[in-house]
Amino acid sequence: MIRNLLLPLVALALLPLAALAQPKGWNDPFPPHKIMDNLYYVGTSQLSSFLIVTPQGNILISSDYETSVPVIQAAVKQQGFNFSDIKILISGHGHPDHVEGDGLVKELTGAQVVVGRLDAPYNKAFKTPSGRPLPIDRMVDDGDTVSLGGTTLTAHLLPGHTKGCLAWSLPLKENGRSYYGFLECSLNIQGMQFVGNQDYPNIVEDFRATHKKARTFPVEVWASSHGVFYGLDEKYAKLKARKDGEPNPFIDPQGYQAHVSEYEKKFDDVLAKQLADAKAKQ
Ligand SMILES: [Zn+2]
């Protein structure tokens, strides 16, 4: 399953501007579910989308592909919410599988579209299959906040996977306890060029700083842009089987730190290999 996922990720990284057909099965529905408090998973089997429900309307994070939008709509409805109550769309990082549906979501909801400033050039240049442009209503930087109906999300710039990759933190409550919620961007390096990258000359420095910074957040409940990064299948199975008094499987501070270490190691290994290959060619 991991291998099936990684191949399309390579293709996406190599052709970031092309309006690619989505990899097979990525838009299959996944059971929507409450992660904790007012945070819900409404994405597809492989592409994360999150809904944050407030008394003044809802926030959607990531539209995914244009063809993912009906799957997200159905998931929102299945959880008992109206898609038209989405007031803010927080765009995903600048890759087609996270932002392609932004124009369609805007058309269906009238939501304000929030985009990370450093990924905005990608959205502006993007060509969607339908010809819809990707809207940008507000640009945000590291530390900026998005607030609606008493919930505030804070943006954290963690560049490398894209120049403007943003994670979002938000406070969550369950059984009288507060938790630090964290929606990771991506640390994935599949298909990336670290040596002589003309489009992103400081990619190595950015990744190194991002690995360091990623460890500093007091993450307790976390998720990421692809379910496979945070063990969605396993955690959802545990959530379904959860009995009263058992811990919420999405509370996983050690898993988050281990995930950062795992992806830092992958980065170090691939970088070393690319440096050795470049040296051998000299
Ligand atoms: Zn990506």
Residues 225, 184 contacting (CB under 8 angstroms) = yes
Instruction: Band the pLDDT of 21: cuts 50, 70, 90.
Output: low
The 10s digit of each residue's pLDDT in 227-244 is 999 999 999 999 999 999
Q: Report which secondary-structure segment, H or E, holds 3.
A: helix 2-14
Q: For residue 201, give the DSSP letter.
A: T
Instruction: For residue 33, give Cα distances in angstroms to 172, 188, 236, 250.
Output: 15, 25, 8, 12
At 79-97, the pLDDT tens digits run 999 999 999 999 999 999 9
The confidence score (pLDDT) of residue 98 equals 97
Q: Read off the pLDDT of residues 97-150 as tens digits, 9 standing for 90 and up.
A: 999 999 999 999 999 999 999 999 999 999 999 999 999 999 999 999 999 999
Contact 108, 69 (CB under 8 A): yes
pLDDT value at residue 73: 98
Q: What is the CATH number of the domain that holds 120?
A: 3.60.15.10
Rounded to whole angstroms, what are the CA distances from 103 to 91, 166, 187? 10, 20, 26
Report the chain's mean pLDDT, rounded to a whole number.
93
Global pTM reads 0.92
* pLDDT at site 23: 81
In the chain, the number of structural domains is 1
C-alpha pair distances (Å), 259 with each of 23, 105, 212, 255: 24, 31, 13, 6
56 CA to centre of ligand 1 in angstroms: 31
Q: What is the pLDDT of residue 25?
A: 85
Domain with 181 in it: 2-281
pLDDT at 20: 52
CA of 94 to the centre of ligand 1 (A): 7
pLDDT digits 0-9 by tens, 178-207? 999 999 999 999 999 999 999 999 999 999
Predicted confidence at residue 11, as pLDDT, reads 46
Q: Report the distance separating Cα 58 and Cα 77, nearest Å.
A: 13
Ligand 1 midpoint to CA 201 (Å): 18
Centre of ligand 1 to C-alpha 93, Å, is 6
